[in-house]
Structure 1
Amino acid sequence: MSRRITVPARDVRVTAEADVVVAGGGPAGICAAVAAARTGARTVLLERAPFLGGTATGAMVASFMGFFWRDRRVAGGVGYEVTQRLIEAGGATGFTRYLLAEASENPIEVRTFPFDPEVLKSVLDEMATEAGVDVLLHTQATEAILTDGRVTGVLAQGLFKPEAFGAGVVIDATGNAVIARTAGCRAENAGDDPAGWQPMTMMARLADVDVPRFRALPRERKRRLARQGMATGELPQQLLSLVSSPSGDDAFILMTRVSGFDGSDTRDLAQAEMEGRRQLRGVVPFLRREVPGFERAHVVAVAPWIGVRETWRIIGDSRLEEADVLEGRQSAEAIAQGGGPLDVHHRDGGGLSLIEPAAPFSVPYRCLVPRDVDGLTVAGRCVSATRTAMGAVRHMGTVMAIGHAAGAAGALAARERIRPRDVRVSELRDLLRSQGAVVDSPLSHAG
């Protein structure tokens, strides 16, 4: 039997008043904050971790996808600048061709951007500071502040006490749509069984790996090794996927598969984190024993938190459909382009589905605008899209482009004192173009 208590009402100090408050400093959130500040908005960024980068740093998913469709770059702006600054800082060497899920039954060639997450932390610090963003780490956004039914700020928990942040516009980049949901926005998955959601992955960084030797293995042998690992129970999925930092002798391994948990529920997430680390205790000995190139490998870091692929998505003024992605449809209100594969990991059987879109697809602005809440936009994997469409939208290159657009739109709305849904999309698109973002299909400019 559960019991309830009444928490006494108390006054919370307003720590800051801003034009734009961004909740969440992952790939979408950091790009939103930098874009908003560069567009002239007083910007506050709230992040629960001691560093920025989210999935790219905290979950150690050390490779950006979604910047390209085949050989055409479909994402620019702040996100692309991150990649170039990583190269300058020695944390990456550039985009490279990669056979995604090589050991699976349906691999697909993509262009990825491997990087060192530790260098990325510093790059993001510098970009936020240079743009004038007020960054508050160790600060978890917990709830929307509503005034006359409109979102006017964010309540957050600091290290010791709750704090309030007033805002002209709030951008929810929490991944779980925390601010949108507490504001009363309808969201999908509310009645679904979390056991059916895409599995999570716990990443690890191994040192002393002979990466060239592993890469030289024929694909068929990698498939046999992956099947062997699944048969013994040491590999949870038919993947031998890794990326390497510029040092060349390390490997970030994506080989765990944690199913049946809700990544937005505290208790479930705790169990998922522990299960991910348990699976790594089987994966690493298998690699050392069976896979050429890993004979001397050892773990130097386990990701601070597990990578979550799917939880909540808002109901927006528009919704991106599976057909929009697969057919490469373009919208007159496009604020970002996507090109990465539709990537859906199966809950059972250890497999995944990978489908390349027929052409770059667009993300309309109104997928970022909650249908029934004002004063708020969203960015990242909680935008309005079907579950399947989100399999292509959630690539980090794409969510960084969406974040850039959300930040620029927030700055425009705050400047003009209008609702985010009333932003003139044609003006936003022109602004994004001037900031180096890709809002039009790159195929429309082909010779």
Structure 2
Amino acid sequence: MSGKGSVLSYQRGLRVRYEADILVAGGGPAGVAAALAAARQNRSVRLIEAHSCLGGMGTAGMVPAFMQFTDGINFLAGGVGREILDSLREADGTVPADGMGIRAEVLKRVYDELLVDAGVAFTFHTQLVDVTLEDGCVHEAICAGKSGLFAIRAKVFIDATGDGDLAAFAGAPYEKGDTDGNMMPGTLCSLWAGIDWDKVRDSGLGAGNSRIEEAISDGIFSLEDRHLPGMWQVGNTIGGGNIGHTFNLDGTDEESLSQAYLWGRKSLKEYERYYKEYLKGFEKMELVATASLLGVRETRRII
């Protein structure tokens, strides 16, 4: 007997567990910046994060580097972004010290300390699942935590989910994908040990796709993916891999996300072979971890 496709009417009373001037949904860089800015204007701020840490793709997602802060001469960021990077450097969280490679565990602590010092209240493992509306405006956020369902009431709601979840739940119009509904592929980032970075630099082959065409011709990949962002140094012998892509991905669908995680983990065996056999300095590399958060490049665009 299957209930697939049927509609269940479910109703229950929920306790309003928290009230704040501002609720920020999502604790990535955008959510952290929004929460800090609001708290520093003497507003009471509550932030909810679905995962186990702040930072989003730079921490749980293991994206190994801060990208394009400069034009090669001038530092182009300011405000909270500059503050975070300066704090990370002071905490020995960038590799090399003047570079863009980041130590994710240090970055987690930097975000923690910034929000705690600013007086922002926040909880992890708190998933936004719906909102209530009054006169066309969001009145409460409905959340799911380990303790169950509860509501948070606020005067202002900021959507920093990365996928426009709050806006979509509130009925805001949005677009998703190209004219055929296709979206950019994702990446499951990874962490690798045993890399000889001096040898990598001396080889002139780099840590990316310099020999990818040759490897594809040799048949080591089951999927012909010719774009390889590569590996960044994030420790003395540690590399952060922005390696491979998960195609046909819809980051707002859990079935699609699940398949992407499966493929992302499976494909790393092929990339490990590529790095060991075709590039220099990676001969003794070994996989340490894959990200708990998939790198999703595109979902909803709020209109």
1:313-332 deviation per Cα after TM superposition (whole angstroms, max 9, x unaligned): 101xxxxxxxxxxxxxxxxx
Alignment of 1:271-282 (within 5 A): 271-282=259-270
> Which residue does the alignment assign to 2:256?
268
What residue is the counterpart of 2:228 in the other structure?
239
- The answer on 1:187 being equivalent to 2:174 is yes
Equivalents in 1 of 2:238, 2:260: separation in Å? 25
Give a deviation string over 1:195-216, Cα, whole Å, max 9, x none. x311111111111101122123
Alignment partner, residue 283 of structure 1: 271
Any stretches of 5+ residues in structure 1 without a counterpart? 97-112, 316-447
Distance 1:94 1:32, change over 3 A: farther
Give the Cα–Cα distance (whole angstroms) in 1 for the partners of residues 43 and 163 of structure 2. 25
Alignment-derived partner of residue 173 in structure 1: 160
Q: 2:101 matched to which residue of 1?
A: 114
Distance 1:240 1:34, change over 3 A: closer
Gaps of 5+ in 2: none
Partner secondary structure for residue 68 of structure 1: coil
Q: Identity of paired residues, percent?
A: 34
Q: TM-score, normalised by structure 1?
A: 0.63
Alignment-mate amino acid for residue 145 of structure 2:
G
Matched, 1:210 2:196: yes
- Counterpart among 152, 156, 159 of residue 143 in structure 2: 156
2:122 aligned with 1:135, yes or no? yes
Contact between 1:237 and 1:255, CA under 8 Å: does it hold in 2? no
Kept in 1: contact 2:189–2:290 (CA 8 A): yes
User: In the alignment, what sits opposite 1:198?
Assistant: 184
| Matched AA of 1:173 | A
* Superposition deviation, residue 61 in structure 1: 0.4
Query: Aligned-residue CA RMSD in angstroms?
Result: 2.1
Distance 1:165 1:223, change over 3 A: closer
Q: How big is the shift at 1:7?
A: 2.9
Q: What residue in structure 1 maps to residue 245 of structure 2?
A: 257
Deviation at 1:95, TM superposition (A): 4.4
Partner-residue secondary structure (3-state), 1:78: helix
Go from structure 1 to structure 2 and tell me whether the alpha carbon gap of 1:129 and 1:259 turns closer, same or farther (over 3 Å shift).
same
| Structure 1 residues 24 and 240, CA gap change in structure 2 (3 angstroms) | closer
Residue pair 2:207, 2:279 contacting (<8 A) in 1 also: no
**Does the CA-based 8 Å contact 2:132-2:138 persist in structure 1?**
yes
Q: Is the 8 A contact 1:236 1:255 kept in 2?
A: no
User: Take 1:181 and 1:210, find their aligned partners in 2: how far apart are those partners?
Assistant: 46
The alpha-carbon deviation at position 146 of structure 1 amounts to 1.1
TM-score (norm 2): 0.92
State the distance in 2 between where 1:221 and 1:181 align.
Answer: 39
Give the aligned residue type for 2:57.
Answer: T
- Distance, in Å, in 2 between the alignment partners of 1:262 and 1:238 is 20
> Which structure features the higher share of helix residues?
1
Check conservation: 2:51, 2:124, Cα contact below 8 A.
Answer: yes
SS at match of 1:146: strand
Report the Cα offset of residue 191 of structure 1. 8.2
Contact map agreement 1:66 1:75 (CA 8 A) in 2:
no
Aligned residue type for 2:55: G
CA gap of 1:191–1:300, structure 2 versus 1, over 3 A, is: closer
Displacement, 1:3? 2.9
Which of residues 4, 7, 21 in structure 2 aligns to 1:5?
A: 7
2:206 and 2:108 map into 1 onto residues whose CA distance is 37
* One-letter amino acid of the structure 1 residue matched with residue 239 of structure 2: A
Question: Given residue 157 of structure 1, which amino acid in structure 2 is its aligned partner?
Answer: A
**In the alignment, which residue of structure 2 is the partner of 1:309?**
297
For the 8 Å contact 1:153–1:164, the answer to whether it is kept is: yes
1:217-232 to 2 correspondences below 5 Å:
217-218=203-204, 224-231=210-217, 232=219
Say which of 32, 53, 73 aligns to 2:34.
32
3-state SS of the aligned residue for 2:107? helix
**Does structure 2 retain, via aligned residues, the 8 Å contact 1:209–1:296?**
yes
Q: Secondary structure in 2 aligned to 1:69?
A: coil
Cα distance 1:138–1:159, how it changes in 2: closer, same or farther (>3 A)?
same
Closer/same/farther in 2, CA of residues 118 and 187 from structure 1, 3 Å limit: same
- What pairs with 1:35-54 in structure 2 (closer than 5 Å)? 35-54=37-56
